[in-house]
Amino acid sequence: MRRLINMKKGTPVFLVALVLVSIALWSSTEAALPPPPPDGGYPGFTTAEGTQALFNLTTGVENTGLGFAALNMNTTGNFNTAVGVVALVNNTSGGANTATGVAALRENTTGSFNTGYGGNALADNTTGKQNTATGVSALFSNHTADNNTATGFNALSFNTTGTQNTATGAFALLHNSTANNNTADGYQALLTNSTGKENTAVGESAFKTSDADNNTGVGFQVAFHTTSGDGNTAVGHHALLNNSTGSNNTALGRSAGVNLTTGSNNIDIGSLGAGGESNTTRIGTLQTRAFIKGISGTAVTGTGVVVNAAGQLGVAP
> What is residue 300's predicted lDDT score, i.e. its pLDDT?
82
Nearest CA-CA partner of 179 in 191, 161, 192, 166: 161
Q: How far apart are CA 98 and CA 121, in angstroms?
A: 11
Residue 226 in contact with residue 241, Cβ under 8 Å? no
Q: Is residue 189 part of a domain?
A: no
Q: How far apart are CA 315 and CA 183, in angstroms?
A: 43
Nearest CA-CA partner of 58 in 38, 69, 72, 70: 72
Q: Is residue 275 part of a domain?
A: yes
Residue 179 in contact with residue 163, Cβ under 8 Å? no
Q: Dihedrals φ, ψ of 265, to 5°?
A: 60, 40
pLDDT one-digit tens code per residue, 166-184:
999 999 999 999 999 999 9
> What is residue 215's predicted lDDT score, i.e. its pLDDT?
99
> What is residue 3's predicted lDDT score, i.e. its pLDDT?
40
> What is residue 17's predicted lDDT score, i.e. its pLDDT?
52
Q: Is residue 209 part of a domain?
A: yes
Residue 240 in contact with residue 249, Cβ under 8 Å? yes
Beta strand pairing status for 313-315 and 267-269? unpaired
Q: How far apart are CA 93 and CA 129, in angstroms?
A: 13
> What is residue 39's predicted lDDT score, i.e. its pLDDT?
62
> What is residue 309's predicted lDDT score, i.e. its pLDDT?
87
Other C-beta atoms closer than 10 Å to the C-beta of 188 total 24
> What is residue 12's predicted lDDT score, i.e. its pLDDT?
56
> What is residue 195's predicted lDDT score, i.e. its pLDDT?
98
Sequence-distant (6+) residues with CB within 8 A of 57 are 46, 48, 63, 71, 74, 75
Residue 155 in contact with residue 141, Cβ under 8 Å? no
> What is residue 29's predicted lDDT score, i.e. its pLDDT?
42
> What is residue 19's predicted lDDT score, i.e. its pLDDT?
44
The count of domains in the chain is 2
Domain boundary among 72, 98, 130: 130
Residue 159 in contact with residue 143, Cβ under 8 Å? no
Q: Is residue 143 part of a domain?
A: no
Q: Is residue 55 part of a domain?
A: yes
**Boundaries of domain holding 270:** 199-284
Each residue's pLDDT, cut to its tens digit, for the chain (317 residues) gives 344 344 445 545 544 454 444 445 444 444 443 454 456 888 999 999 999 999 999 999 999 999 999 999 999 999 999 999 999 999 999 999 999 999 999 999 999 999 999 999 999 999 999 999 999 999 999 999 999 999 999 999 999 999 999 999 999 999 999 999 999 999 999 999 999 999 999 999 999 999 999 999 999 999 999 999 999 999 999 999 999 999 999 999 999 999 999 999 999 999 999 999 999 999 999 888 888 888 877 788 888 889 898 888 898 88
Q: Is residue 255 part of a domain?
A: yes
Residue 281 in contact with residue 291, Cβ under 8 Å? no
Q: Is residue 314 part of a domain?
A: no
Strands (DSSP E) found in 148-285: 149-151, 166-168, 183-185, 200-202, 216-218, 233-235, 250-252, 267-269, 281-283
> What is residue 25's predicted lDDT score, i.e. its pLDDT?
45
For the chain, give the longest Cα–Cα distance. Answer: 143
> What is residue 104's predicted lDDT score, i.e. its pLDDT?
99
Q: What 3-state class would DSSP assign to 184? A: strand
Q: What 3-state class would DSSP assign to 122? A: coil
Q: Is residue 276 part of a domain?
A: yes
> What is residue 287's predicted lDDT score, i.e. its pLDDT?
87
Q: Dihedrals φ, ψ of 38, to 5°?
A: -70, 160
Mark out the alpha helices in the chain (DSSP H runs).
13-32
